[in-house]
Amino acid sequence: MAGMTGTAGVASHDVARLARDMAFAAHPGELAGVFLRAVSTAYDLSAALCYARDATGEWLVPLAIGERDSDAFGPVPMAELENPLVYSFVSSQPYEVKRLDALIGVGDAFEHMRAMLPTLAAMHVVPMRDDRDHAASVLALVGDASALQAWRQSEAWRCLLQTYERLGARLQEQRGAADAQRRSQAWQRETERSRTRAGRLLTAGFVGTSATAKRLRAEMLRLADSSLALLIAGETGAGKDHAAWLIHQASARDGKFVPVNCAAIPQNLIEAELFGVVRGAYTGATHARQGLVAEADGGTLFLDEIGDMPVDLQSALLRLLNVKAFRPVGATREQSSDFRLICATHRSLPELVAAGRFREDLYFRIRQQALHLPPLRERTEDIPALVAATLMAFNREQKQNVAGISARAQAWLQAQPFPGNVRELRSLIQAAAEQTASGSVIRSSTLRALREMLTTSAPAALADPIADHGPALNELWDNGSLPEVMAAFERSLLQDRLLKVQGSRRLAAESLGIPKRTLARKCLAWNLEREDSTA
């Protein structure tokens, strides 16, 4: 190959020799090796690599490395969408990087590759297509920018590249078909077994017999196989957290499912909860604490009510998603965590983006895939199955034997709007089951009485705190002392929050970001204890 130089072009005998060597290649890896070694020698490249998609479809794996140890370059996840290799493969378009150090936050696989290459080098990635014009592999050439430009402008190398692509397509079809089919069949058998187990889990866990429920289970099964970020949208009580847990359980991830309620954690503590704290990071940090992101390593991080995340923390989350690295509060070194992200919200994130309260780039990053859970009123035919599942769980946990529900009660339930969705339905059934004798069925009269009590029996002091206390607060605002105004505001806030959660002290405390015992003391101080119906 002495006649091949980046500046002098390609000698005719070298072109013929390389074409002959490529024609004699027995499999795609050997073909890629012959071509890459020739390019690397001709233009004195730092690296010449060929990557192809593996049988799972989740990774790009090294097929051949020109003049390099192939073991040094690891696989590249298809989820690393900003990686030049993945982008070129997915888009079937060339990708040019003028300097490797100019790309920031691309992903761990790219960082590993860049660590073994000159930081000032350029990279040119070219997709290779099969006989159906689909991307079969990508070539990545790394070296001096002028050398890569000369290679791209060489008519001889363009012809050789076309020859390589045709030969690769032929070998892929002739030589690799049998091996690929065997690997594919084995992988499909294992995948089918896994999907069968996951399908049974989702069928048992996501209750419903309607066409909508069946479609949702199919979507959740498909989403379980992916590593891309998922955004689940739906009204409060529709079951977003339960769907996220089921998707994690149906996936191949063997790590934990780590839920984080962004609305329940106080804003001044959410960063420490997510990323952890080193000892002495701030007053009161007497010991180091692992964050929830680290706990989710190998599993799923579920961010519930992502729309309530503070704006200043959204940038840290965006960086975490891009590089899978984070820094605990007070730490000097970064840590990594390999997790799958699932977010949920009942709010319209596009509206929050338009209002400047949610980062647009973060919205598109967490919405790589989306799942919408419809409200219960749009799938009322699932109510009988949900009632049966709720009663079965109640009987098992409470060691009772509620025999079921009457036909009239069932029809009454299916006519209700249920603004609280599945959560409201289950709460109502559990309350009715407690009032039903063992061996008997739940009557419509029991359900009606409970529903009427929940909607009409709110204490007068809690009926409308803003209307009741508005004039008093206005008067205090103008004439009262600071302690009086703060005390009156706190009382009104507690009353309003207890009303919204139907008297549940636990839910009220979570939404206020305070311990339950603190809320209990405040309720007692404000004579609200009698108004709290749920411990």
**Ramachandran assignment for 503, one of left (phi > 0), alpha (psi -120 to 50 degrees), beta (any other):** left
Of 47, 28, 111, whose CA–CA distance to 77 is shortest? 111
Superfamily of domain 203-374: P-loop containing nucleotide triphosphate hydrolases (3.40.50.300)
Which has the higher per-residue pLDDT, 241 or 313? 241
Task: Name the packing angle between helices 267-275 and 311-323 (round to 10°).
Answer: 10
Judged against a pLDDT cut of 70, whether residue 469 lies above it is answered with no
Cα 173 to chain center, whole Å? Answer: 36
Q: Which residue has the higher pLDDT, 198 or 431?
A: 431
Q: Is the domain 12-174 a CATH 3.30.920.30 member? A: no
- Show the tokens assigned to 161: 């590249």
Q: What is the pLDDT of residue 426?
A: 93
The mean-pLDDT minimum among 7-16, 47-56, 268-277 falls in 7-16
Mean pLDDT score of the chain: 82
Find, among 320, 259, 262, 296, the residue nearest to 105 by Cα. 320
pLDDT at 196 over 50: yes
pLDDT (mean) for 243-247: 95
Best CA proximity match to 84, nearest among 148, 151, 158: 148
| Residue range(s) occupied by CATH 3.30.450.40 in the chain | 12-174
d(CA 246, CA 224): 9
**What pLDDT sits at residue 534?**
40
Higher pLDDT, 342 or 335: 342
**Residue that has been written with the tokens 């409060």 in this structure:** 236
| Highest-pLDDT range among 87-101, 337-351, 473-487 | 337-351
pLDDT (average), residues 23-29: 85
User: What pLDDT does 430 receive?
Assistant: 92
Question: Over 50: is that where the pLDDT of 239 sits?
Answer: yes
Cα gap 491→375, rounded to integer Å: 33
User: How does residue 187 score in pLDDT terms, banded at 50, 70 and 90?
Assistant: low
For the chain, count helices (H), then strands (E).
Answer: 23, 15
Q: What is the pTM of this model?
A: 0.53
Residue ranges of the chain that CATH labels 1.10.8.60: 377-456
Total length of the chain:
535
Residue 452's pLDDT band (boundaries 50, 70, 90)? Answer: confident
Between 381 and 5, the higher pLDDT residue: 381
pLDDT of residue 485: 73
Percent of the chain clearing pLDDT 70 (strictly above):
82
279-290 pLDDT per residue, tens: 776 666 667 788
**Position 186 confidence tier, pLDDT thresholds 50, 70, 90:** low
Q: What fold does the segment set 377-456 form as a domain?
A: Helicase, Ruva Protein; domain 3 (1.10.8)
Q: Reading across the β-sheet that carries 300-304, which strands appear in turn?
A: 257-261, 300-304, 340-345, 230-234, 369-373
- What does the pLDDT read at residue 472? 56
Measured between its terminal Cα atoms, the distance across the chain in Å is 82
Q: What is the mean pLDDT of residues 338-363?
A: 94
